Copies of this chain bind each other. A is one copy, B any other.
Amino acid sequence: MQKASTKEKNYLRDGFYARTPGEEIKCPDVYLTVNQFIEDVTARVNAAVPKDASADEASKARSKVIAEIEKESRDQTGLSSKVRTFWEGGAYHLYRGKSFTDVRLVFAPEYQITQYGGDPDNFEYPRYDFDICFFRVYESNQPVKVKDFLKFSPVDTREGDLVFISGHPTDTSRSLTVADLALQRKTISFALGFNNQKEVLLVNWSARSEENARRAMTDLYSCQNERKLADARFAGLLDPELMAAKAKAEADFKARLAGKPEFAEALAAYDKIEAHDKSAWTQYQHRQLIVGSGFDCASIGIARYLLVVPPNSEPLPKFPDPRYKEFERALFADNPIYPDFEILKLANSLTCMVGQLGLEDPLVQKILAGKSPHERAAELINGTQVRDLAFRKRLYEGGTSAVAAANDPLIEVARLVDAESRALSKISDSQDEMMNQAKAAIDHAKFALDGTEGYPDASFSLRLAFGTVKGYEEDGHPVPAATSFAGLYDRAKEMKNRPPFDLPPLWTKRKSHLNLNTPYNSVSTCDMGMGNSGSPVVNRAGEFVGIIFDTNLQALPWDYVFNDKQGRAVEVESVAIYEALDKIYQAKPLVRELVNGQRN
């Protein structure tokens, strides 16, 4: 919507509705892939790997046969084909999907109502977001005729209803061991400390001028979102019930492995992981500071690219050649960079780094060069030329010798850090390999004992979940399963319609048209994760009754283990979609099409 907007038409602010097919907006960078077929190819993959192969040989043989399977499938069917790995190689499935690239926008509400309540209400419940839109998919310039589809239900769900969601959750960390979770607690707490420090800094700096606020906005949003995620996951890791459940499951499983020679490696893997996790902390911390949190500004990112992107520079390990298409794009992106904001962020992140490593650290001494973090940040940002695009192009073309000759203070700091970071990467690579092998041994044992009884960590693969529409209790008060339009208007009134609690004009103007008792957002116990936003919610009859857009805070620890005491998936009810399309947006043809399958 942002891309389709112009100076005259601000779709993001005003929303969009194509009253006729001709008004629909083509979305060139949107495509849809519909899964057609899943085939178990485990036997073929395993057969291609010689029994006595080394880890390295096995990995190569596996990649080779997977590439063959994918190519055969593409050649035979013309469908996009991808082999996905589960249980660290316990199973391999071939996914075939049909892709549609002609996708057109039919309807989208005002951006403000899609994320009503902004950061303050993000991940909170009760919620009041109309976070939906409608696309139409075309093939050969004609709307695609779909045989199998989810019938739209204009009837609301009720407390206790069984519901299903399907989607592609990106990743979960449920196979983390108890030792991993202890390490996770430290790493999250560490990252949260930096994030909090940055958030208060940005809030304060933003309050000092409107231009500051504009410059800091994106960084601040990202801090706020990170903080909610980290806070909620940290809370999970401090929940004795969650941790006891993880400990019990691990102890039970280890008991099943004990005394069986075929699982000796898996049992030993737990000890290896624990030993690694106990020793990994200091190194993790050091790496985080050097590679990430210690240098939080755009200029040093560019300086770092200038060390690795020019054609004759030393490549970074683990990146393919022809390399760095993305890095190159980033190097030449002409985004505005504000020196004052850069100094603020670099001074803050250097302060965090120096605070952790201490002034006595030899690398810190080189980085600071006798100055305080703030003075040094000002000196580096004021002294560097990397914000100048022509300078970057000249250095890129001149290669490493031009970069060295530039004698740019920020590039020289990047060089110090680059050397340290490569050294740390080498240590971490060999440890990662050890950890991967240990995790694979455990996963193989799990698969050998339980097969597909449980489900593996999410990894973008298609997944069906089930649950119940259900409220919960919080701090001794009941939280009902559904909100209503009346609740939305109450929230706006309570917050005096001030951003981010302001209603779009149409929602104010046509309030009286709405049935205010219509269920709006609701929650269910469906096990979901990041990536399920947009998943359809389906009832027992197989009808579409809503669309997922969030979880509450209490579901964020689902990353570690599912628990439906308070954790909930949050959806927009189909009945709310129906009512708002009809009464607020007066999109009658769309409403008819949803319910009857035709516009008129």
Query: Min CB distance, A340 to chain B, in Å?
Result: 7
- Nearest-neighbor residue (CB-CB) of A193 within chain B: B193
- Nearest-neighbor residue (CB-CB) of A354 within chain B: B238
CB–CB B359/A234 < 8 A: no
- Nearest-neighbor residue (CB-CB) of A355 within chain B: B189
Contacts of A192 in B (CB 8 A): 197
Contacts of A121 in B (CB 8 A): 208
List residues of A (367-392) whose CB comes within 8 Å of B's CBs.
368, 370-374, 378-379, 382
- Per the bound structure, the CA–CA distance linking A174 and B469 in Å amounts to 63
- Per the bound structure, the CA–CA distance linking A359 and B240 in Å amounts to 7
> In this assembly, does A452 line the interface, its C-beta being within 8 Å of a C-beta of chain B?
no
List residues of A (193-235) whose CB comes within 8 Å of B's CBs.
193, 196-197, 199-200, 203-204, 207-210, 224, 227, 234-235
CB–CB A475/B343 < 8 A: yes
Contacts of A271 in B (CB 8 A): none
> In this assembly, does A40 line the interface, its C-beta being within 8 Å of a C-beta of chain B?
no
- Nearest-neighbor residue (CB-CB) of A189 within chain B: B355
Please pick, from B197, B235, B240, B374, the residue contacting A351 in the complex, using a CB distance under 8 A. B235
> In this assembly, does A593 line the interface, its C-beta being within 8 Å of a C-beta of chain B?
no
> In this assembly, does A136 line the interface, its C-beta being within 8 Å of a C-beta of chain B?
no
CB–CB A373/B495 < 8 A: no
Interface size class of A (residues with CB under 8 A): 35 or more
Please pick, from B120, B197, B382, B494, the residue contacting A207 in the complex, using a CB distance under 8 A. B120
Contacts of A227 in B (CB 8 A): 200, 204
- Per the bound structure, the CA–CA distance linking A239 and B373 in Å amounts to 7
> In this assembly, does A476 line the interface, its C-beta being within 8 Å of a C-beta of chain B?
yes
> In this assembly, does A241 line the interface, its C-beta being within 8 Å of a C-beta of chain B?
yes
> In this assembly, does A124 line the interface, its C-beta being within 8 Å of a C-beta of chain B?
yes
> In this assembly, does A51 line the interface, its C-beta being within 8 Å of a C-beta of chain B?
no
CB–CB A370/B241 < 8 A: yes
Contacts of A379 in B (CB 8 A): 476
CB–CB A368/B210 < 8 A: no
> In this assembly, does A243 line the interface, its C-beta being within 8 Å of a C-beta of chain B?
yes
Contacts of A23 in B (CB 8 A): none
- Nearest-neighbor residue (CB-CB) of A374 within chain B: B235
- Per the bound structure, the CA–CA distance linking A476 and B383 in Å amounts to 10
> In this assembly, does A75 line the interface, its C-beta being within 8 Å of a C-beta of chain B?
no
Please pick, from B124, B197, B208, B370, the residue contacting A208 in the complex, using a CB distance under 8 A. B124
CB–CB A372/B196 < 8 A: no
List residues of A (311-361) whose CB comes within 8 Å of B's CBs.
340, 343, 351, 354-355, 359
> In this assembly, does A185 line the interface, its C-beta being within 8 Å of a C-beta of chain B?
yes
- Per the bound structure, the CA–CA distance linking A166 and B250 in Å amounts to 68
Contacts of A200 in B (CB 8 A): 196, 199-200, 227
> In this assembly, does A496 line the interface, its C-beta being within 8 Å of a C-beta of chain B?
yes
- Chain A 107-121, CB-CB to B under 8 Å as 1, else 0, gives 000000000000111
CB–CB B359/A238 < 8 A: yes
- Per the bound structure, the CA–CA distance linking A199 and B207 in Å amounts to 15
- Nearest-neighbor residue (CB-CB) of A196 within chain B: B196
- Per the bound structure, the CA–CA distance linking A188 and B354 in Å amounts to 14
Contacts of A382 in B (CB 8 A): 475-476
- Per the bound structure, the CA–CA distance linking A147 and B438 in Å amounts to 87
- Per the bound structure, the CA–CA distance linking A208 and B491 in Å amounts to 10
Contacts of A240 in B (CB 8 A): 359, 365, 368, 370-372
Contacts of A193 in B (CB 8 A): 193, 196
CB–CB A494/B209 < 8 A: yes
CB–CB A185/B370 < 8 A: no
- Chain A 221-265, CB-CB to B under 8 Å as 1, else 0, gives 000100100000011001111110000000000000000000000
- Per the bound structure, the CA–CA distance linking A227 and B348 in Å amounts to 13
- Per the bound structure, the CA–CA distance linking A368 and B199 in Å amounts to 29
- Per the bound structure, the CA–CA distance linking A474 and B494 in Å amounts to 44
Q: A235-B351, A354-B238 are in contact. Are A359 and B210 (CB under 8 A)?
A: no
CB–CB B238/A120 < 8 A: no
- Nearest-neighbor residue (CB-CB) of A242 within chain B: B372
CB–CB B199/A120 < 8 A: no
| Nearest 5 Cβ contacts at the A-B interface | A120-B207, A196-B196, A239-B372, A378-B475, A120-B208
| 8 A-B residue pairings within 8 Å (CB atoms) | A119-B204, A192-B197, A234-B355, A235-B374, A238-B354, A240-B371, A241-B372, A382-B476
